[in-house]
Structure 1
Amino acid sequence: MDMEVATGDVLAVVGSNGSGKSTLLRILVGLSQPTTGSVSGRPPRIGYVPDRFTGHDRISAISYLTHMGRIRGLSTSAARARGHHLLERLSLVGGWNAPLRTLSKGNAQKVALAQALLVQPDLLVLDEPWSGLDASAHSVLAEFIDEVAAQGGAVVFTDHREAITETHARGAYTISDGRVTSRGGRHAGSRTSMVELVLTVPPTGIMPIEVNWSVLPGVTDTAQRGGEVVLRVAREHSDAVLQTALQHRWSVASLAEAADERSCRADARGTAL
């Protein structure tokens, strides 16, 4: 295999279960060693979120982050302040001072993300980072990824949903039969067309059935806007998501091309002129 990660890259690693995605990420960050070959140019500051977070379960989220920040060279006050800032952005539910063992999977994942970002990483490696996150944290994670890349870092992540990788990655590596091959992402090939679906309570007043929208194929972002649910969906999956919404008694307020899709089309027209 031959894999290169450059400054500013946002790369996805895709493959079937058991194909070796997590092993490749562990080799990338230095937690595992390749049986043959070598890894060169590994940067000094690496943020890593494993597929299973195993922080010490008896200490609180903020105590854990403060401790990890101290290990990475921050003062106690700076580590604590940075931890507070990250947990606030991620909207941690369950209490910053509650033991880690009392947190839900999604909130434990928020702590894992925060520890990876305590110090601005040169390389951020995320193993299924969207797994278990609530809707509000999906867009925040996307912001973190963009911020790391914009500040000269590189990001490598895995996710089993193609819509996620097509939306957030600028390139991708596929693992199959023990081989790693490069393929284009949203900036190196065809770009997945996205739509914005806005759902609301029907005018009859009958309450719709709750749906975990983020796990549906094609849904890359979810948000609450007043009494509405706003979904960002890959166009090829929009019919299926609409059907699910209607089956669960949701009313469709609007369905339109996503804002950034319209912006890209306008930019293209401007360039042509």
Structure 2
Amino acid sequence: MAPVVRARGVAKQYGRRARPVLYGIDLEVAAGEVVAVRGANGSGKSTLLRILAGLTRPTAGTVDGRPRPVGWVPERFPPSERLSAAAYLVHQGRIRGLRADAARERAARLLERLALAGGAGTPMARLSKGNAQKVALAQAVLTPPALLVLDEPWSGLDAPARGVLAELIAETAGSGGAVVLTDHGGSASPTAAYLLEGGRLAPAGAEAAPLYEIVLGGAEETVLKVPATHRDAVLSDALARGRTVLGVRAL
């Protein structure tokens, strides 16, 4: 399968005399893949993800095939906006080509699903870290992303929201999108994992956590592949939203 995004020989150096952060990174991510990048703090994971998302230019090398739209969740989502969470999401939806009513409906549905504390009218500047992260996730998937890039997406989330995040990742991959995320704590069960160390990227060891396939009924049938650690949370969220569980099996 052709890659959705391909990095070849990517290097990054901040300043002529500084030590390079990344050396000759090669990475391909195909449609339907969930790729985790792991490594110690300061290893360059965030820099690599910003390059893949098109937010930072590499010092050397190329990134080809980057699709649109790209959903992006930074490690620190700044809740300094004076807008409310709902108004911010509607504004983002309008920028991405949604009609105002469609943006409002999509934003409301996502915030309800993620259980934003305090309500959608809460000013962004008053959000806790966990609730700001929920808004960050919502804005990343307002329109279905062809490439979803998540930098430490589990940070600050409560257990139910972690289950919803696992669903959003599975839904993006299941619809033909590609997902790249940093996973410092090993919370995800990706289709491929890499270790970034000393500025170089290498395949990581085999994943320990098994995957489960969950088939949900409702207006349309949905098939999700989620890690065992998030299976119960995903099922609870689906039932709370009125979905029917048609099947659950280990992969």
TM-score normalised over the length of structure 1: 0.68
1:55 Cα shift? 4.4
Cross-structure match for 2:244: none
Is the counterpart of residue 147 in structure 1 residue 168 in structure 2? Answer: no
After TM superposition, give the deviation of residue 184 of structure 1 in Å.
Answer: 5.4
Which SS does the other structure have where 1:82 is aligned? helix
Whether the 8 Å contact between 1:56 and 1:64 is mirrored in structure 2 is: no
- Contact 2:209–2:229 (CA under 8 A) maintained in structure 1: no
Mapped partners of 2:169, 2:34: distance in 1: 8
Does the alignment pair 1:95 with 2:119? yes
Q: Give the structure 2 partner of residue 80 of structure 1.
A: 104
Is the helix fraction higher in 1 or 2? 1
Cα distance in structure 2, aligned partners of 1:6 and 1:97: 38
- Residue number among 27, 30, 34 corresponding to 2:51 in the alignment: 27
Distance in 2 between residues matched to 1:8 and 1:42, nearest whole Å: 15
CA distance in 1, matches of 2:55, 2:84: 25
In structure 1, C-alpha distance between the alignment counterparts of 2:76 and 2:26, rounded to whole Å? 26
> Do the aligned partners of 1:60 and 1:99 also contact (CA within 8 Å) in 2?
yes
Fraction of identical pairs, as percent: 56
- 1:192 corresponds in structure 2 to 209
What is the aligned-residue RMSD (CA, Å)?
2.5
Q: What does residue range 1-273 of structure 1 map to in structure 2 within 5 Å? A: 1-162=25-186, 164-165=187-188, 168-183=189-204, 185-186=206-207, 191-192=208-209, 220-221=229-230, 263-264=249-250
Secondary structure at the aligned position of 2:204 is classed as strand
**Given the superposition, is the C-alpha separation of residues 22 and 120 from structure 1 closer, same or farther in structure 2, using an over 3 Å criterion?**
same
Distance 1:105 1:73 in 2: 28
Q: Distance in 1 between matches of 2:88 and 2:134?
A: 13
Q: 1:114 to 1:128 in 2, by over 3 A?
A: same
Helix, strand or coil for the counterpart of 1:37?
Answer: strand
Pair 185,101 (structure 1): closer, same or farther in 2 beyond 3 Å: farther
- Runs of 4+ that moved beyond 2 A: 182-186, 191-194, 219-223
Q: C-alpha distance in 2, partners of 1:118/1:185?
A: 33
Instruction: List gaps (5 residues or longer) in structure 2.
Output: 1-24, 212-227, 237-246
Q: Which runs of 5+ in 1 are unaligned?
A: 195-218, 227-258, 268-273
- Compute the displacement of 1:119 (Å): 0.3
Which of 1 and 2 has greater Rg?
1
Structure-2 residue corresponding to 1:211? none
**2:113 match: secondary structure:** helix
Per-residue Cα deviation, 1:50-92 (whole angstroms, up to 9, x for no partner): 0010244211000000000000000111111100010011011
User: Per the alignment, in what secondary structure is the counterpart of residue 63 of structure 2?
Assistant: coil
Contact preservation (8 Å) 1:170, 1:184: no
Distance 1:38 1:185 in 2: 28
Q: In 1, distance between residues paired with 2:79 and 2:66?
A: 24
Per-residue deviation, 1:44: 1.3
Which structure features the higher share of strand residues?
Answer: 2
Partner residue in 2 for 1:229: none
CA distances 1:111-140 after superposition (whole Å, capped 9, x unpaired): 000000000000000001110001110110
Deviation string, structure 1 residues 130-188 (Cα, Å, up to 9, x no partner): 100011101100000000000000111112113x13xx2111121011101123554xx
